[in-house]
Chains A and B, each alone.
Chain A
Amino acid sequence: MQPLLQLEGISKSFWGIRALDGAGLSVARGEVHALTGENGAGKSTLMKIVAGIERPDSGAIRFTGSAVAMIHQELLPFPEMTVAENICMGAEPANAFGWLDKSAMHHRAAELLARLGVDVMPGARMGDLSFAEQQSVEISKAVGQQADLLIMDEPTSALSDRECERLFRIIGDLKQRGVAVIYISHRMDEIFRLADTITVMRDGRPVATRPASGFDEATLISLMVGRDFDAALVRQPAQTGEVALEVRKLTREAKFRDITFTLRAGEILGLAGLIGAGRTEIASAIFGLDPAGSGDIVVRGRSVRIGSPADALAQGIAMVTEDRKRYGFVGDMGVRENVTLSSLRRYSAGGFVRRGAEDAAADEQIRALSIRAAGREQQVKYLSGGNQQKVVLARALLSDPAILILDEPTRGVDVGAKAEIYGLIARLARQGKAILLVSSEMNEILALSDRILVIREGAIAAEVTPSRTTPEEILSYAMPQ
């Protein structure tokens, strides 16, 4: 029988970075197809292409069904409208004059919700519902639009156990009706429970597609982690110095709790875990971007209050954030202005910027980090991802921090720049900087860290030493139990 969806040779690059590299996939009607793989393997990009949100650079898509619907990880509902209005969005029943037929709308919504066994009133305001209820409404909407392929991107990441059960029941029901579901997830138990077929993706293409019965948990994990470890990357354990940063019982409600650790000068401490485990939130709290609710931050033996990044910088803490576009740089400004933004005081006198000193500092950073730009005045928005990241690093370094927080420092960075950034991180540790490294890339965190804390659901699940652990062990700690 002809498959519902057939993808062949799909490639896609962003800013010169390859996200998909000749990916293919085949999904049959009424099949639950699990898609798994490490962060950045290209799962979400591939699904965005299927849903028509992104265009592929090359490749063929054959879809024989009538409609595709995607349930995003972050739902995109209209919170001020009713459930019925959300469900009928874009296909509102109306008479010839464009007059909305509210009762028909209500009726259709009630029928869809009942069919899927969703216990929500059609007249309720969307914003008043829980996340799980909103998700059910979105699924109802997709079914109402006659979608015969439904893509779910980590749908259980914010659900309780009971809510998960209900979702699984709905998925089973959809399958009965011949709707195919592509299910993106990291959670082993869910994958094995739901999937008919499992595809593992790595480095922008599927590396294995088999019936679920053809996998066991261990093979799945090793396929996800992939290539053997690049032993050459492993850093020599550093000479560590005094305690630079101490974090005690740092807590922010619903995000992370009781985070306690110490970080020494010259040490690289890795924070591993799944996306959404709370690592970025912990890092942001220490840097003051989003201050913690309770707990202490002790810098060089003194308890400090950090309410803003300006406070953190004054304490010698700098951070390279995960969301580069949002927090990293000012795109309309040149390399020079971005690089000196955190330390402009040093390059000014009496409030006036000393351009000579500033130019020299910028040039030095461009050279030291081999930032490839048309010159120090080139606007950062026109640089490649890797060079943008080096600009952000340069800005952090120029503030001369004792403590450096790096959140996904090589995300969206090409291989060459990645190696340069690794070298730089190792060099900084040798120079005695205390480094807190958040990374979702297993190789990266294992190669660079002296110690690794595995964060699971907002708490420290384990501390491991890279030389005596395996990616599989880390992943097993990171997986929600």
Chain B
Amino acid sequence: MTKTRKWPPQLGLAIALAVLMAGLAAARPGFITLGNLVNLVRQISINGILAVGVTYVLLTGGVDLSLGSLVALTGVIAATFAHPGEYAVVVPVSAGIAAGALCGAINGVLVTRGRMAPFVVTLGMMTSARGLALLASGGRPVSNLSTAFTRIGSGDFAGIPAPTWILLAVAAASHVFLRNMRMGRHVYAVGGNESAARASGVHVNKVKMVCYTVCGAMAGLAGVVLASRITTGQPNAGIGYELDAIAAVVIGGTSLNGGTGGVSGTILGALLIGVINNGLDLLNVSSYYQQVIKGVIIVGAVWLDRSKKS
């Protein structure tokens, strides 16, 4: 009866990750070099930023399927303002983030005031945002971007790539927000038991609005980083990214029903997916096998994590 969480959260997942990395290091010594580790953390940045954002929404018990399309739309918008010699780099960056936040806020209004299922609302946004990205770009990639802008994706500081620093910053801020701030506490309460949260005086709609808006803003940030990394705003970028992001969050222990989990797990989840992708490329595993192995490792890691907890 008196059960407590004796097993620290995500320990099972951390073990799975360590085992996987040890195995890869043994099979391919090149895996554990400084160069590849830098490579790895750079490659998980975009999925990581998206996953941190969607963690907010999943914690409330919702879902956001529009992330991939928002990445494309915000990347195109940012790129439009990022041609050399036009605006300071802060303009495209804030335009991308603001566009993402606006789309997220629209999702939020439809979910709260419109009382529609998040799945439906964000599915609609997924389609509309993709269309808007095509309209805004005329169906063609927006290229010829300033070096100040492309440096966001390609630069580094203290040996660590800039996108990784961005991921670390949003992850740390989100961790503090969710764990230490009043609004963060309310996010968990809404996801854990929406009726009880309301009966406790929590402004449920306001909390959900914040979560969807933050998620959209993070998608905007990811879109900016992606556009900068591939040096174009691509209207067809980011297809299927929402699933990788949601997978990272769920692997990290956040319940799809909401109320439990958090950013630290999400980062571990994003790392696991990144290590699998990177490791299988290094081992030059055939494309067909890659997909099978990826699926098996993801399910296996979650199984290990959950069975340790119960």
A→B interface (CB under 8 Å): 16, 287, 289, 308-310, 312-314, 319, 321, 326-333, 337, 341-342, 344-345, 348, 351-353, 355, 373-375, 377-379, 382, 384, 395, 399
Contacts and interface: CB of A to CB of B under 8 A. Distances in A.
B185 interface: yes
Contacts of B199: 287, 289, 309, 319, 321, 327-328
B259 A330 contact: yes
A373 B260 CA distance: 20
Contacts of B193: 326, 329-331
A382 B197 contact: no
A310 B201 contact: yes
Nearest to A382: B3
B34 interface: no
B30 interface: no
22 contacts: A287-B199, A310-B203, A326-B195, A326-B196, A328-B196, A330-B189, A331-B192, A332-B192, A332-B259, A333-B189, A333-B192, A333-B259, A337-B188, A337-B189, A341-B201, A342-B201, A351-B181, A352-B182, A374-B2, A379-B5, A382-B4, A399-B201
B198 A377 contact: no
B183 interface: yes
Nearest to A320: B199
Nearest to A345: B182
Q: From DSSP, what is the main secondary structure of chain A's interface residues?
A: mixed
Given A332-B260, A341-B200, A327 B182 contact: no
Nearest to B199: A327
A393 to B, nearest CB: 13
Interface of B: 1-5, 180-183, 185-186, 188-189, 192-193, 195-203, 259-260
A345 B181 CA distance: 10
Given A16-B1, A384-B1, A395 B200 contact: yes
Which of A345, A348, A375 has most B Cβ within 10 Å?
Answer: A348
B198 A309 contact: yes
B166 to A, nearest CB: 23
A353 B182 contact: yes
B181 A353 contact: yes
Contacts of A312: 201
Contact of A330 (B2, B5, B197): B197
A475 B32 CA distance: 78
Contacts of A331: 192-193
Contacts of B4: 374-375, 377-379, 382
Which of B5, B185, B199 has most A Cβ within 10 Å?
Answer: B199
Given A348-B182, A379-B4, A382-B4, 10 more contacts: A308-B198, A310-B203, A326-B196, A327-B196, A333-B188, A341-B185, A341-B189, A341-B201, A382-B1, A384-B1
B300 to A, nearest CB: 25
B285 to A, nearest CB: 39
A373 B1 CA distance: 10
Contacts of B189: 330, 333, 337, 341
Contacts of A313: 201
Given A329-B193, A337-B188, A352 B198 contact: no
B5 to A, nearest CB: 7
Nearest to A358: B185
Nearest to A312: B201
A236 B280 CA distance: 77
The 7 closest A-B pairs by CB, nearest first: A330-B192, A313-B201, A327-B199, A341-B200, A310-B201, A330-B193, A342-B200
Nearest to B184: A353
A377 B6 CA distance: 11
Nearest to B257: A332
Contacts of A379: 3-5
B33 to A, nearest CB: 41
Contacts of B180: 352-353, 355
B192 A327 contact: no
A388 B223 CA distance: 45
Nearest to B261: A332
Contacts of B186: 344
A42 B188 CA distance: 36
A341 B202 contact: yes
A436 to B, nearest CB: 16
Contact of B202 (A310, A373, A384): A310
A345 B260 CA distance: 22
A314 B202 CA distance: 12
Contacts of A289: 198-199
A326 B192 CA distance: 11
Contacts of A341: 185, 189, 197, 200-202
Nearest to A326: B195
A16 to B, nearest CB: 7
A382 B4 CA distance: 8
Contacts of B3: 379, 382
Nearest to A333: B192
Given A309-B201, A310-B203, A378 B182 contact: no
B181 A382 contact: no
Contact of B188 (A310, A314, A330, A355): A330
A326 B196 CA distance: 6
Contacts of A374: 2, 4
Nearest to B258: A332
A395 B196 CA distance: 11
A351 B182 contact: yes
A118 B244 CA distance: 56
A351 B197 CA distance: 18
Contacts of A375: 4
Contact of B185 (A326, A332, A337, A384): A337
A382 B310 CA distance: 13
Which of B182, B185, B196, B198 has most A Cβ within 10 Å?
Answer: B196
B218 to A, nearest CB: 19
Nearest to B190: A330
B200 A309 contact: yes
B1 A353 contact: no
Contact of A382 (B2, B200, B201): B2
Contacts of A16: 1
Contacts of B5: 379
Given A289-B199, A375-B4, A378-B2, A344 B182 contact: yes
Contacts of B260: 332
Contacts of B182: 344-345, 348, 351-353
Contacts of A333: 188-189, 192, 259
B186 to A, nearest CB: 8
A377 B2 CA distance: 12
Which of A328, A333, A399 has most B Cβ within 10 Å?
Answer: A333
Contacts of A308: 198
B185 A353 contact: yes
A355 B199 CA distance: 23
Contacts of A348: 181-182
